[in-house]
Structure 1
Amino acid sequence: MKRDRQSVNDRHTRILSLLRERREIKVEELSQIFDVSPMTIRRDLQHLEDQGLISRFYGGAVAEQPVSPAGDADQVKLYRDLISQYAANLVAENDQIFINGSRTALGLLDFLEGKNVRVFTNNGLVCARKYPSNLRITLSGGEVRGQNAILTGDCTMRNLLMVHARKAFIGCTGISPNGELLCGIPTELGINETMLSHSDRYFILADHTKVGVIGTYASLHLEKMGTVITDELAPAAVVEQLRYIGMEVIQVTKGHSGEK
């Protein structure tokens, strides 16, 4: 039994290593690599998703973020909080804003400091805590997807199409140098795209681990140029390329200021 448990743990570690290298992988391929049944791989992926390390999609999985040592993870969290705080400073009194399923985007609500703001979101995690009365929050409705409680589906889209916002704050799995936005689950693609098109301005919130990510899985091209809020560790070459194609890029630092 102990040996069986060890073999499962080893397989989980190797799956995470593959995802760190490739960002996404299919169940059938993993089944062949490890010489186990697809059902076994699906159980493995469910376990890893329950730990918040990956997101599953039909037939495979994608890494939530690069796997990193604990110290690096603490640093990433610090930068994500700074990105949330900077984003909150861009919200004005009486703004109506979109927030997608991103934890970093949702985090900006903690820094609004008494501003009267209307929020429309498909992020079910908003229900996990109480917010002050100056925030009027409308949940989109829809189907709950995974432990991240992202709401998707026809109901979400119908309600979203009736709303227009001054600003949209969109988190992502990654943003490529050419302005492709990667999402953790395919069903959120249309929702993010609609939030972008139904807002006057949009802001992509992406810490340095997500800047420069390239992949074919669940991506949309940013036709309307907007603003990327990242941090000082984002790859300089990718930052310059994003600026070259017309995106504004703001980099927060540990001193809390944003640099353009």
Structure 2
Amino acid sequence: MTKRNTQQRRHAIAALVQEKGEISVEALTQRFATSEVTIRKDLALLETGGLLLRRYGGAVSLPSEMMAEPDADKVSKRKQSIARAAAERLRDHNRVIVDSGTTTSAMIPLLGSKRGLVVMTNSLSVAGQLRELENEPTLLMTGGTWDPHSESFQGQIAEQALRSYDFDQLFIGADGIDLERGTTTFNELVGLSRVMADVAREVIVMVESEKIGRRIPNLELPWGKIHTLVTDDGLAQDARDKIQAKGVTLICAPTHQEHSRRK
């Protein structure tokens, strides 16, 4: 089945669940003449996108209290635009690292059309999403010690696993961007991020524009380690100039929204 047909089927499933309130996997397999495995992957991706909830044997529509508030929806659109721009930098058969985080994980559903990917991650959430893709990549996990604050594996075992490979790209988020120093984080566990950057030929930071200029004590990656920064088009011009002056490729993904407060 082509990618276009897959997208059409998923749109139709989301509409059916919204209309009926609940539907079974069996009914969906009959309606779309496809396998249960394919339907379950569809439902997993639609759940990740916040369009429904999976239940045993099928799916149900989202309760009204779980529907996104307007501000949350705007944040989601920014993350999605960043994810699309970042995913465009991926090529078939690339070997990549995807760090934990909500912005990096937003890219995973967009990788279904890529073939032959090898993906290492320290995130159970990212790993779960990768397993649901139709073109399922070769999945590598860092292992290590589970850190509940970052919801990821950290530590020496994870670092050793990373150093056993070489990668084309690292996709990593940030709690903040210090325009003078680089990416910053609230978490003191920055060792793994630095090893990730060491073993990747291109380091791609994915971060919303509202985090750029945020000063947080812990330096994660200095500008010298960063090749590309992908953000949204809400970034102020003076910040753009400062980032590009560091020799970093800057991509400001369009969100198709007006930014009346842009300076």
Q: Same fold (TM over 0.5)?
A: yes
- Mapped to 2, the partners of 1:101 and 1:112 lie a distance apart of 16
Structure 1 counterpart of 2:63: none
CA displacement at 1:121 relative to structure 2: 0.8
For the 8 Å contact 1:125–1:148, the answer to whether it is kept is no
Q: Secondary structure at the match of 1:204?
A: strand
Q: Secondary structure at the match of 2:225?
A: coil
Structure 2 counterpart of 1:153: 155
Amino acid at match of 1:120: M
CA displacement at 1:131 relative to structure 2: 3.0
CA displacement at 1:72 relative to structure 2: 2.9
Alignment of 1:1-260 (within 5 A): 70-116=69-115, 117-129=117-129, 130-146=132-148, 148-187=150-189, 189-255=190-256
Structure 1, unaligned stretches of length 5 or more? 1-68
Structure 2, unaligned stretches of length 5 or more? 1-67, 258-263
Q: Secondary structure at the match of 2:172?
A: strand
For the 8 Å contact 1:114–1:134, the answer to whether it is kept is no
- Mapped to 1, the partners of 2:151 and 2:134 lie a distance apart of 22
- Aligned length in residues: 187
Normalised to the residue count of structure 1, the TM-score between the two structures is 0.66
CA displacement at 1:112 relative to structure 2: 1.7
Cα deviation 1:56-106 (Å, max 9, x = unaligned): xxxxxxxxxxxxx95333212111011111111110010000111122112
For the 8 Å contact 1:144–1:150, the answer to whether it is kept is yes
CA displacement at 1:149 relative to structure 2: 2.2
Normalised to the residue count of structure 2, the TM-score between the two structures is 0.66
CA displacement at 1:241 relative to structure 2: 0.4
CA RMSD of aligned residues (A): 2.1
